[in-house]
């Protein structure tokens, strides 16, 4: 089976969707979830901070359910006078 340009162009959005799903963080500008796995605690904070930083907000971890198949939940908060300052 040979792939022509049209079929390759059709596959690119599907491949990008898979890459986004496996990046770990799912969410929007109000917060999101990260799949839980052993030893992810420190990395989850950085992943949440990176996600919220894209919206010029800071991350606040709200829930950790330490079982396979569950998630670490977080919210993105707007920096105000009592929150951390963003550059």
Domain presence at residue 32: yes
- Report how far residue 20's alpha carbon sits from residue 42's, in angstroms, rounded to the nearest whole number: 21
**pLDDT value at position 8?**
57
Residue 19 is assigned to a structural domain of this protein: no
Instruction: Quickly tell me which residue has 């901070």 as its tokens.
Output: 49
Number of domains making up the chain: 1
* Token duo for residue 56: 């010029």
Q: Which two tokens stand for residue 16?
A: 């990008």
31 found inside a domain: yes
Say if 43 falls within a structural domain.
Answer: yes
Question: Does any domain span residue 15?
Answer: no
Q: Domain range spanning residue 79?
A: 24-87
User: Could you tell me the pTM of the whole model?
Assistant: 0.66
Distances (CA, A) of 26 to 3, 21, 31, 33, 51: 31, 7, 9, 5, 9
Quick check: is 67 in a domain? yes
Each residue's pLDDT tens digit, 23-64: 589 999 999 999 999 888 889 999 999 999 999 999 999 999
**Is position 1 within any domain?**
no
Phi, psi (degrees; rounded to nearest 5) at 60: -135, 115
């Amino acid at each position: 089976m040979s792939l022509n340009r049209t079929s390759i162009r059709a596959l690119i959005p599907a491949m990008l969707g898979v890459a986004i799903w496996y990046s770990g963080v799912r969410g929007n500008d109000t917060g999101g979830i990260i799949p839980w796995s052993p030893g992810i605690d420190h990395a989850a904070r950085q992943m949440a901070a990176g996600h919220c930083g894209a919206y010029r907000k800071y991350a606040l971890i709200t829930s950790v359910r330490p079982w396979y198949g569950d998630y670490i939940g977080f919210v993105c908060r707007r920096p105000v006078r009592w929150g951390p300052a963003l550059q």
